[in-house]
Amino acid sequence: MTLTRQAIPALLILALALPLAASTPEERGLAIALEADRRDAGFHDSTARLEMTLRNRHGEESQRTLRNKALEQPGDGDKGLVIFDAPADIDGTALLTFSHKTGDDDQWLYLPALARVKRISSSNKSGPFVGSEFAYEDISSQEVEEYDYKYLRDETFSGQDSFVIERYPVDPKSGYTRQVVWLDQAEYRVLKVDFYDRKDSLLKTLTYTGYQQYLGQYWRADLMEMINHQTGKSTELAWSDYEFQLGLEERDFDRASLARAR
Amino acid sequence: MSFRRSSFLVSAVVVALVATAVAAESPGEWSGFAAVESRGYAEDPGFAGQDSGSPTSLVFEPEYYRELAGGDQSLTFRPFARLDSVDDERTHFDIRELSWRRVERNWELLAGVSKVFWGVTESQHLVDIVNQTDLVENPDGEDKLGQPMVRLSLVRNWGIVDLFLLPGFRERTFPGADGRLRPPLPVDTEDAVYESSAGQEHVDYALRWSHAVGAFDLGLSWFEGTSREPLLTLSPTDTGTLVPYYEQVSQVGLDTQATLGNWLLKLEAVERSSRSSDFAATTAGLEYTFWGAFGSSLDLGVVAEHLWDERGELATSPFEDDTFLATRLAFNDTQSTEILAGAIFDNDGDGSQIVIEASRRIGSSWIVEAEMRAFSGNDPTDPFAFLRDDDFFQLSVQRHF
């Protein structure tokens, strides 16, 4: 998956040309999504640690700690392994996901108390992930094919020249009619997403802050904050210990690895 | 309870490995839980000798885990203890896990005492035969004793093959004479009888292949050794007690699940042969989940399974032709509130069991769990009939660390 030196300039020229050449707002929206995806491709594998803080409207907090491992799949969605460390009662619980560009993902859950690996339905796109304001579809691997796109406008957001695009989930089981996404023009990093529910009212806003670059290419936000405008609840994701290209393999993402993940 | 020679050997291997490997590694980590559990029975006991009190138990299950050799090897130690205020047989200690594991590119090796789970269904676990049931824990049979084993897993493109060598047999635990949830006569586990002259020293073998292809998960298994499910016979020496008789069995098992959108279709089937019988049994069913039911964030799952045993009324399990219906509610709130309600009933109209379980997290490290079980049945051949005076409500408070 590593690009050759010769291929990089050719792709860059193509990518720079694409947004300009695209004529309709739909083509331009897709071109921006493809470029953002291209810039993030080739990381091969990564691991990170995540502190989730769930807040209700009274400001009461509860915490989750988990670790995430991801493996890029050429031609398909990523493979992912999520391991829970806290709360203590779910310590060692692990979720293995083979995401696909189209159709349902494959998911297995490991329940340490029963030593049981359970294949679970992944058709629950819009349900909350571990009681948070993030739906399963918000935390799963984002594939270009999962949306239709439309370029809206250029705008200055937090002092950065940005593209504003709209994307429409292809999956009818999605909880959203549309999402409005702000990406900075310099690096194609997502800065903000507004989520509109099935009745097309503004449901949630996700903001990304503290972007850091890894391996001179891959940008990751240290902090992601999701605010639910309809309930007043919010969830903060604080990422740390990002590592890339550790040499993870398929073997680190199979059912045997799930049962000993911790 | 007794870990005899062969199982002791496995533990000795582990201890030796610990001694050689521990030296300059990072320290391990402790986790686990402690719980207080209280049960109240709805009726007075039905059999002579049973205590009419409401038992309270203390449960402790810590776990020590340590990585070795940069993470390619690990050690796990998880002892378990229960102190029960009424039943001396429920007061027990077990080593749930004491194992060393080595992970390589195409294989994994585990030696020591451990636990495995095979299967897909919810109402009973026909295929799951490696670990003995710790029946004093709960009549649902979900709790298992640690099993001494050497397990080699071969990971291939065409699936995972697990080879098991199982030295050392674990006897099923049974409530004592003063305990509830037992047959009319108490089971004397001290005098267990074995078909094999090797008794508890008999070495069992098991093999399993499992694979996932698209929407399908498939497992095929084979087991040769001492049956985990004893036949209960009248004691020849002590009238008024039952003794367990453990046959030699060979079992072939199949478990498969199709995961199709909101639907899960499940099947488990076994063919088990022993000197006394040769029979087939199946559990087949489905599960459907309404995500975000009632326009809320609640998930409502509905489970229906049919349990069948070729032996009919002669079956050693209570499920020869039974239906299981259950509903699972996950509130998806920050406290992970869950409720499970189910009923299993004999299709001939006699004997049923109802269960309701609810759990909720309090703060970050406490879990409160409530459980209710009710039994009915008048047919004396149906094991539920023995339990009809043992309807109970249980409250448990757990502190996880």
- The full set of domain ranges for chain B reads 5-400
Strand spans (E) along B15-146 = 29-41, 56-68, 73-84, 92-103, 107-114
Nearest CA in chain B to A87: B364
> A255, B257: Cβ pair inside 8 Å?
no
First to last CA, chain B: 27
* B103, A260 contact by CB (below 8 A): yes
Q: What are the structure tokens assigned to A196, written together?
A: 């509109």
Range of the domain at A204: 7-260
Interface of A with B (CB under 8 A): 54, 56, 62-63, 86-92, 104, 106, 108, 114-124, 126-128, 130-131, 175, 249, 251, 254-256, 260, 262
How confident is the prediction for chain A on average, in pLDDT?
91
User: Using CA atoms, how far apart are residues B95 and B3, in angstroms rounded to an integer?
Assistant: 10
Residue A221 corresponds to which tokens in the numbers above?
């936000």
Contact B368, B395 (CB under 8 A): yes
pLDDT of residue A261: 86
A91·B31 Cβ contact <8 A: yes
| Block residue for tokens 């080595």 | B102
Residue A10: which H helix or E strand, with range? helix A7-21
The 3-class secondary structure across B344-361, one letter per residue, is EEECCCCCEEEEEEEEEE
Query: How far is B371 from B37, CA to CA, in rounded Å?
Result: 11
CA atoms within 13 A on the CB side of B399: 4
Per-residue pLDDT tens over the stretch B120-172:
999 999 999 999 999 999 999 999 999 999 999 999 999 999 999 999 999 99
- The 10 Å Cβ neighbour count of residue A247 is 7
Q: In sequence order, which residues have a C-beta less than 8 Å from that of residue B196 and are 6 or more positions away?
A: B202, B226, B248
Q: Which residues of A touch B297 (CB under 8 A)?
A: 127-128
Q: Is the Cβ–Cβ distance between B386 and B184 less than 8 Å? A: yes
* Residue A1 maps to a domain: no
Distance CA A171, CA A169 (A): 6
pTM for the model stands at 0.91
- Asked whether residue A202 is assigned to any structural domain, the reply reads yes
Structural domain includes residue A95: yes
Residue A4 confidence (pLDDT) above 70: no
What's A12's domain CATH number? 2.50.20.10
A92: region left, alpha or beta (phi > 0 left; psi from -120 to 50 alpha): left
Q: Count of CB contacts below 8 A, A vs B? A: 96
Question: Which chain A residues touch B299 with a CB distance below 8 Å?
Answer: 124, 127
ipTM exceeding the 0.85 mark: yes
Tally of domains in chain A: 1
**Type and span of the H or E element at A34:** helix A25-40
pLDDT tens for each residue of B92-104:
999 999 999 999 9
* pLDDT tops 80 at residue A21: no
Question: How close, in Å, is residue B172 to chain A by CA atoms?
Answer: 18
Judged by DSSP in three states, A91 sits in coil
Q: What is the mean pLDDT of residues A251-255?
A: 92
Q: Assign B368 to helix, strand or coil.
A: strand
Contacts of A113 in chain B (CB under 8 A): none
Residues B203, A111: Cα–Cα separation, whole Å: 29
**Residue A213 confidence (pLDDT) above 60:** yes
Distance separating alpha carbons of residues B147 and B278, to the nearest angstrom: 25
Which of A156, A162, A196 has its CA nearest to residue A179? A196
A21 domain residue, yes or no? yes
Instruction: Show residues of chain A in contact with B289, CB under 8 Å.
Output: 121, 124
Per-residue model confidence (pLDDT) at position B9: 55
Q: Which CATH entry fits the domain spanning B5-400: 3.30.450.40, 2.40.160.10, 3.90.1560.10, 1.10.10.10?
A: 2.40.160.10
Residue A2 lies in a domain: no
Q: What is the pLDDT along chain B (401 residues), one digit of tens a residue?
A: 344 555 555 666 666 666 655 554 568 999 999 999 999 999 999 999 999 999 999 999 999 999 998 889 999 999 999 999 999 999 999 999 999 999 999 999 999 999 999 999 999 999 999 999 999 999 999 999 999 999 999 999 999 999 999 999 999 999 999 999 999 999 999 999 999 999 999 999 999 999 999 999 999 999 999 999 999 999 988 888 999 999 999 999 999 999 999 999 999 999 999 999 999 999 999 999 999 888 888 999 999 999 999 998 777 777 889 999 999 999 999 999 999 999 999 988 778 999 999 999 999 999 999 999 999 887 777 767 889 999 999 999 999 99
- Give the chain A residue nearest B143 (alpha carbons): A114
Taking alpha carbons only, the member of B180, B224, B188 closest to residue B50 is B180
The β-bridge relationship of strands B193-194 and B242-246 is: parallel
User: How far out from the chain centre does Cα B105 lie?
Assistant: 31
Question: CB B361 to CB A262 under 8 A?
Answer: no
And the tokens for B181? 């949830």
**Angle between helix A7-21 and A25-40 (nearest 10):** 160
Strands (E), chain A: 45-55, 61-71, 79-86, 94-98, 106-111, 116-120, 147-157, 160-169, 176-184, 190-197, 202-214, 218-228, 234-244
Cis bond leading into B184, ω under 30°? Answer: no
Q: Which residues pair with B352 in a beta bridge?
A: B345, B376
Closest partner CB to A87 (pick from B297, B299, B365): B365
Give the span between the Cα atoms of A207 and A140, in whole angstroms.
17
Query: Tokens 């594991």 identify what position?
Result: B101
pLDDT tens digits, one per residue of A99-131: 998 888 999 999 999 999 999 999 888 999 999
DSSP line for B331-347:
--STT--EEEEEEEEET
Tokens 């594998």 label which residue? A45
